[in-house]
Amino acid sequence: MALLELEGVHSYYGHIHAVRGISLTVEEGEIVTLIGSNGAGKTTTLRSIHGLLPPRRGKIVFRGEEIQGVPAHQMIRRGIAQSPEGRKIFPRMTVLENLEMGAYHRAGGIREDLERVFDLFPRLRERMRQEAGTMSGGEQQMLAIGRALMSRPRLLLLDEPSMGLAPVLVERIFEIVREINRQGTTILLVEQNANVALEVASRGYVMETGRIVNAAPAAELRRDPKVREAYLGEG
């Protein structure tokens, strides 16, 4: 049984049909990526999984239970956390306070989780008492991922972690993504930079205009002429 399964999911923004009957699976321990151009439906898919945009039709099954329609604030208790596009940190709160917010549903005992995050992101330990809004874009991205990890998720939804970052920071962020996965967290990754996404993922789905048009192991997608031309800049 897959950790996560989407079956015929349709999601809308008002009258706009943003996701059109997609089906996908994520197995325990994998990194799976969704690639596609802006407006393809990638972020909408993550929002649908996380309960922020409940699908109008279709099923979302996590750990054997249907979760479509479950409110977003309950997803953390079920084992799903999201690091959203644009980071969405709390700028006037300190780094530590942001991280503590990631574990809001737990009564205590978060010291071990803080140490894990600080081991992954030493810069956050250095900036622990600093207001999050005063940090660089790369540091804020680290904070957004760290905050999501504070809930001990079985599944981490990562939305555009490389957005706006310098290439050296992108490389570092994805080294950490690999380490998070090695430590046992399954990851569903939405990433505009298809090159780096297909390097880190084991499998990928290609989305166009709300539909999945290709699904294959990441190495196979990297060799696909259409993918190379459309998303890897290799015409």
Mean pLDDT of 185-205: 95
Mean pLDDT of 195-204: 96
Coil, strand or helix: which one is 81?
Answer: strand
Q: Does 235 have pLDDT greater than 70?
A: no
Q: Does domain 1-79+153-234 have CATH number 3.40.50.300?
A: yes
- Using alpha carbons only, how large is the chain's radius of gyration in Å? 17
Q: Do the beta carbons of residue 25 and residue 4 sit within 8 Å?
A: yes
Share of the chain above pLDDT 70, in %: 98
What is the pTM (predicted TM-score) of this model? 0.94
CA atoms of 115 and 63, how far apart (whole Å)? 28
Q: Does 108 have pLDDT greater than 80?
A: no
What is the reported pLDDT for 198? 96
Mean residue pLDDT across the chain: 93
Element (H, E) at 174: helix 167-182
In 3D, which of 34, 83, 45 has the Cα closest to residue 231? 34
Angle at alpha carbon of residue 51, lines to 48 and 56, rounded to 5°: 55
| DSSP state for residue 82 in the 8-state scheme | E
Q: Do the beta carbons of residue 98 and residue 70 sit within 8 Å?
A: no
Domain assignments of the chain as residue spans, ordered by start: 1-79+153-234, 81-152
Strand partners, 32: 188, 203
In 3D, which of 200, 116, 128 has the Cα closest to residue 158? 200
Task: For 71-104, write each residue's pLDDT tens digit.
Answer: 988 999 999 999 988 788 999 999 999 999 998 8
Coil, strand or helix: which one is 88?
Answer: coil
Task: For 109-167, write each residue's pLDDT tens digit.
Answer: 789 999 999 999 999 999 999 999 999 999 999 999 999 999 999 999 999 998 888 88
| DSSP state for residue 232 in the 8-state scheme | S
What is the reported pLDDT for 233? 76
- Using pLDDT thresholds of 50, 70 and 90, give the confidence band for residue 199: very high
Q: Do the beta carbons of residue 61 and residue 5 sit within 8 Å?
A: yes
Residues 6+ apart with CB under 8 A from 148: 81, 82, 83, 102, 156, 157
- The end-to-end CA distance of the chain, in Å, is 38
